[in-house]
Amino acid sequence: MAFPKLLVLGTGGTIAGAARSATGKSYGAGEVAIDAIVSEVARLGLDVELVAKTIARIGSQDIGWDQWDALHREIAAAQGDDSIAGIIVTHGTDTAEETAYLLDLTLAAGKPVVLVGAMRPTDAVGSDGMRNFANAVQVARDDRAAHRGVMVVMGDAVFAAPDVRKAATSNINAFRGFPRGPIALATPSSIDWFAPPHREGSSARFAWPEALPRVAILTAGAGMDAKPVEALLGIGCKGIVIAGMGQGNAPRVVLDALADAVRSGVPVVRSTRVDEGLVDRNVEVDDDANGFVASRALGPAKARMLLMMLIASGITDQERIQANFDRP
């Protein structure tokens, strides 16, 4: 019997990291080639055919347009290839939420697309990479994973791209989902899905753009003034996400400077520097008067990706931007 075929796209990260010391206390991300990782997985007897391709061998803090463009192209082609059952992307954990969400916004939902990473390098004691990869294989080959968009598999849990975020720096259970928690639990021997597929429609929400605009995240802090806003406008930012205090608030002078930015044609989205929770319109800040958009359930990193996609798609008015944040 032929085994299901999965495409594995390697980008680097700790799942491809080598420490050359059992403690793994200092290591290089992306040092192990994806072919070597796939050969290792092949020894696990998962009854699957894996086809590996290298996109990059970098730490995910360096990921950007070139790698996203290549990933989008390869995944879109694989989605149209009847011989491929699902796609796995090995990725650093630091920016997995950004890549997963960007791909989720721009790819069709039918075939499973799974990002997987690790918190400990391949050769460190208690390395989680092989187990996470085995879990990702189970998800990518599961018919019930279809129509759920892009997912992230970490620590025996499956997260939907709009929900997922990294919430711990070194713990192997570093990922959380908000507003939904995990959408499934996955181990090398079982998968339990908690709900039917959530993705609305199967076609991509946005066409892949020719480029992404410069959009910055500005973290609010007590006692700050308006200079950082002026600096961002000075370097040509096309949009600003404020990682605000509490429900997306900031000092009065900063809000005033951001309202000026909106008046000059630069959209501003209010998100929060707090770990979790909604940022709703007009609660403490008058969004109607200032022209701001409330990020709702999206944290700053994903709010930036959505704002970049909207601006790249020619959507720059407050009402339509808000409508998109209301439906992340």
Strands in 293-294's sheet, in edge-to-edge order, are 215-219, 239-244, 268-272, 293-294
Q: How far is CA 161 from the centre of its chain?
A: 6
Which residue of this chain has its Cβ atom nearest to ligand SIN in the complex? 92
- Specify the residue, 111 or 166, whose C-beta has the smaller distance to ligand SIN: 166
Candidate segments 46-54, 88-96, 240-248, 265-273, binder of ligand SIN by CB under 6 A:
88-96
Can residue 9 be called a binding residue for ligand SIN (CB under 6 A)?
no
User: Is position 121 an interface residue for ligand SIN (rule: CB under 6 A)?
Assistant: no
The site map against ligand SIN for 47-76 (x = CB under 6 A) is ------------xxx---------------
Q: At what angle do helices 96-106 and 65-79 cross, to 10 degrees?
A: 50
d(CA 263, CA 257): 10
Number of residues that bind ligand SIN (CB under 6 A): 11
Q: Minimum distance between the CB of residue 60 and ligand SIN, rounded to whole angstroms?
A: 3
Least distance to ligand SIN from the beta carbon of 34, Å? 14
Beta carbon nearer to ligand SIN, 93 or 295: 93
127 part of the interface to ligand SIN, by CB under 6 A? no
Q: How far is the CB of 44 from ligand SIN (least distance, A)?
A: 21
In 3-state terms, what secondary structure has residue 204? coil
Single out the residue of 85, 8, 5, 111 nearest to residue 49, CA to CA: 5
How many C-beta neighbours within 10 Å does residue 196 have?
Answer: 8
Stretch that binds ligand SIN, among 86-94, 196-204, 241-249, 283-291 (CB under 6 A): 86-94
The reply on whether position 119 binds ligand SIN by CB under 6 A is yes
Catalytic residue from among 11, 14, 95, 106: 14
Pinpoint the alpha helices (H) of 183-269: 227-234, 252-263
| In the complex, least distance from residue 64 CB atom to ligand SIN, rounded to whole angstroms | 13
Shortest spacing between CB 290 and ligand SIN, in angstroms = 35
Amino acid in the structure at residue 182: P
Q: Outline where DSSP puts E strands in 32-183.
A: 49-58, 86-90, 113-116, 150-154, 157-160, 164-166, 175-177
> Counting contacts by CB under 6 A, is residue 93 touching ligand SIN?
yes
Cβ contact 102:68 at 8 Å? yes
Nearer to ligand SIN, 31 or 256 (CB): 31
- In this structure, are residues 302 and 97 in contact, taking their beta carbons and an 8 Å threshold? yes
Please identify, using beta-carbon distances, which residue of 32 and 279 lies nearer to ligand SIN. 32
What's the closest the beta carbon of residue 248 comes to ligand SIN, in angstroms? 27
- Which region, judged by CB under 6 A, interacts with ligand SIN, from 43-51, 66-74, 92-100, 314-322? 92-100
97 vs 287, which CB is nearer to ligand SIN? Answer: 97
Output DSSP code: residue 216: E
Pairing of strands 293-294, 268-272: parallel
The single residue listed with the structure tokens 């908000």 is 178
Q: Say whether residue 29 binds ligand SIN (CB under 6 A).
A: yes
Give the one residue of 92, 155, 239, 267 binding ligand SIN; rule: CB under 6 A: 92
Task: Mark whether 14 is an active-site residue.
Answer: yes
Which residue, among 107, 122, 118, has the nearest Cα to 152 in the 3D structure? 118
CA distance 167 to 274: 11
Do 152 and 89 touch, CB atoms closer than 8 A?
no
Tokens of 312: 């790249």
300 interacts with ligand SIN by CB under 6 A: no
Binding site for ligand SIN (CB under 6 A): 13-14, 29, 59-61, 92-94, 117, 119
Residues marked as catalytic: 14
